A and B are shown apart, each in its own frame.
Chain A
């Protein structure tokens, strides 16, 4: 049996039937990392030896019935912007290259309570700013489907690691598409939960009103399981919301009969690659066959939302990244004679090009004279975007769009033109602006065997509905059984 090919719910079943042991699972992943990580380059920090030791301890405790948590002993990978006590959290930046957090993020505490084992910290665009993971200060992660292409970003390490079966599942974070787009590029499932469902405490802030942590998994059921583990109010994050606990696995009914699905026509316009569009149309037909009521609708806000996103995200980033000053933690320049020079030189030497670009843009839109024209205006457009979504959700349960206008592109082909890279976020950013949940699931491959992602959008706290819609489709097309990453290429 090849353990690393299994989903988490399959692993759990085999553990229950005593066909495998907790130690064997972690050992299998450690071996897989040794074999494939040189090709994929998904990790910034690997913790294989530590994980093997921990697995043995957990196994003994489970056998002695000292631990009864359902997913005890299952390994996981963590995007390197979530604080892990005693383990480096670098945000893929020279600024935090040697930063060791003195505390755990709330999501990490929750994983530890469940006795889930961390296999390592995963690569990303620096401070989560990017859509290809090429802006990592340390390495370029490759897409397991074609090693010459990007895995997407910013959670590119997380998505590539799940696709390459280096981890059974992973956590990512999504500010404008950073879970969903890499999931689409790597042929896995990525869920951005509703803003406020997951605590952001201990997630290194990029844009606080948009950031949200979520699962990247092999299938929809695993996504629901991981969401069950990490969701919930946290007094350390006042933007997390008090709500009754939901069992998301129970929501997977494998039935969409009568579900109303809206297809916003503006998301299928000329910028969408033809093969992507064709696969999405097949998916729409499949939903009709499955009994959903599918209708075209209008949501004429995509361009406004994208412009608004870059104004708000950069404004918040310029403020959030003000804390990196070379005093209490992070990089400090060697080259200074006074305090001001510590600030300026530390920041200038340690931040990468894209991070500086966004700080400059954010500072500009917040500065006197431009605040009204950009930032204030963007906040008004944010209200407009929320209203437009509210209007369509009066008629529909779910909206269906592509996750990205294209499949994964070749490494190095877009990084020199920032605006071009930003425009590719057109399908995903409006959800963050409105705080809505969205899931990306694979809906086929193009003629080069590169995966294509479909995005399902729900109402605020409508995770159960989109998970069920995704699950029902997944059961019908069985993408994982028919398509596998080939690890081709790799000469770059």
Chain B
């Protein structure tokens, strides 16, 4: 399967990444290389096998939906790149 330039730009957009002009060719080459190798999964004898999403037997672990307050708001907000009072600050979304 050949990956096109348009495709890699589309993927980068989905992943919220900008690619510089010189990065596009390198990533194209690497992606192509890795996918060529990864294609061998299509030769594996998996007829009739279900998919494993993990290795645990315990799926769907439920608990009560209880609120556990995290007291130290100041510490939480100390990592915010920009904040105002006790809120995270972002640019205006609705114009």
Question: Which residues of A pack against B, CB within 8 Å?
Answer: 98-100, 102, 195-196, 209, 235, 238-239, 241, 303-304, 307-308, 310-311, 318, 322, 325-332, 336-339, 342-345, 347-348, 351, 356-357, 359-361, 363-365, 367, 373-374, 376-384, 386-387, 418-419, 422-423, 434-435, 460
Does B14 lie at the interface of the complex (its beta carbon under 8 Å from any beta carbon of A)? yes
B54 touches A381 (CB 8 A): no
Chain B residues contacting A329 (CB-CB under 8 Å) are: 79-81
User: In the bound complex, how far is the Cα of B91 from the Cα of A171, in angstroms?
Assistant: 40
Interface hits, B1-16 → A, CB 8 Å: 1, 3, 7-8, 11-12, 14-16
Known: A329-B79, A363-B11. A373 touches B44 (CB 8 A): no
Specify the chain B residue showing the minimal Cβ separation from A242: B58
Q: Which of B37-95 contact A (CB under 8 A)?
A: 37-42, 44-46, 49-56, 58, 61, 63, 70, 72, 75-76, 78-82, 88, 90-91, 93
- Chain A residue contacts of B88, Cβ below 8 A: 327-328
Q: Closest approach, in angstroms, between the C-beta of A367 and any C-beta of chain B?
A: 6
B residues within 8 A CB of A238?
A: 58, 61
Judge whether A357 and B30 touch: CB under 8 Å. yes
Compute how far the CA of A423 lies from the CA of B19 in the bound complex, rounded to whole angstroms: 26
Q: Do residues A307 and B40 form an inter-chain contact, with CB atoms below 8 A?
A: yes
Which B-chain residue is minimally distant from A379 (CB atoms)? Answer: B51
- Across-interface contacts of B16 in A (CB, < 8 A): 322, 325, 343-344, 347
Q: Which of B45, B49, B52, B80 has the most CB of A within 10 A?
A: B52
Residues from chain B with a CB closer than 8 A to the CB of A331 are 81
A460, B57: Cα distance in complex, Å: 12
With A102-B75, A304-B44 in contact, is A374–B38 under 8 Å at CB? yes
Give the residue of A100, A195, A235 whose beta carbon is less than 8 angstroms from that of B55: A195
Contact B15 A380 (CB under 8 A): no
CB-CB under 8 A from A383, the residues of chain B are: 46, 49-52
Chain A min CB distance to B43 (Å): 8
Question: In the bound complex, do residue A376 and residue B51 qualify as a contact, i.e. CB atoms below 8 Å apart?
Answer: yes
Q: Which residues of B contact A343 (CB under 8 A)?
A: 16
Beta-carbon nearest neighbor of A196 in chain B: B56
CB within 8 Å: A-B pair count: 163
Given A239-B56, A386-B52, A308 and B15 touching (CB < 8 A)?
no
CB distance from A32 to the nearest CB of B (A): 33
Check if B55 sits within 8 Å of A310, measured CB to CB.
Answer: no
Chain B contact residues: helix, strand, loop or mixed: loop
A360 and B50 within 8 A (CB): no
Question: Which A residues touch B82, using CB under 8 A?
Answer: 332
Give complex CA distance A445, B95 in Å. 66
Q: Assuming A238-B61, A327-B88, A328-B80, is B12 touching A360 (CB within 8 A)?
A: yes
Partner of B38, one of A311, A330, A376: A311
Could you say which of B34, B58, B79 contacts A310, with CB atoms under 8 Å apart? B34
Cβ of B17 and Cβ of A102 under 8 Å apart?
Answer: no
**Please, how many angstroms separate the alpha-carbon atoms of A195 and B18 in the complex?**
35
B76 to chain A, nearest CB (A): 5
Q: Is the CB of B56 within 8 A of A195?
A: yes
Q: Which residues of chain A have C-beta atoms less than 8 A from B78's C-beta?
A: 100, 102
Report whether A377 and B58 are in contact in the complex, using a CB–CB cutoff of 8 Å. no
Q: Are A363 and B14 in contact (CB under 8 A)?
A: yes
Q: Is A361 a contact partner of B93 (Cβ separation < 8 A)?
A: no
**Known contacts A342-B90, A382-B51; A360 and B27 CB within 8 A of each other:** yes
A378→B34 CA distance, assembly (Å): 14
Given A327-B81, A357-B27, A419-B34, the answer on whether A379 and B53 have CB atoms closer than 8 Å is yes
List residues of chain A with CB within 8 A of the CB of B63: 235
Residue from A339, A351, A361 within 8 A of B31 (CB atoms): A361
Complexed CA–CA distance, A153 and B24 (Å): 27
Task: Tell me, yes or no, whether B33 is within 8 Å of chain A by CB.
Answer: yes
Q: How far is the CA of A142 from the CA of B11 in the complex (A)?
A: 35
In the A-B complex, the 8 residue pairs with the smallest Cβ-Cβ separation, listed nearest first, are A435-B55, A332-B81, A379-B51, A329-B79, A238-B61, A380-B46, A382-B52, A102-B75
What separation, in Å, do the CA atoms of A235 and B14 have in the docked complex?
Answer: 34
CA A304 to CA B51, docked complex, whole Å: 15
Known: A209-B53, A379-B52. A384 touches B44 (CB 8 A): yes
A–B complex contacts, Cβ < 8 Å, 30 sampled: A102-B78, A209-B55, A239-B54, A241-B56, A304-B44, A308-B41, A310-B38, A318-B15, A330-B79, A357-B27, A357-B31, A361-B35, A363-B14, A363-B15, A374-B38, A376-B51, A377-B42, A377-B44, A377-B46, A380-B44, A380-B50, A381-B44, A382-B52, A383-B51, A383-B52, A384-B44, A384-B46, A423-B37, A435-B54, A460-B55
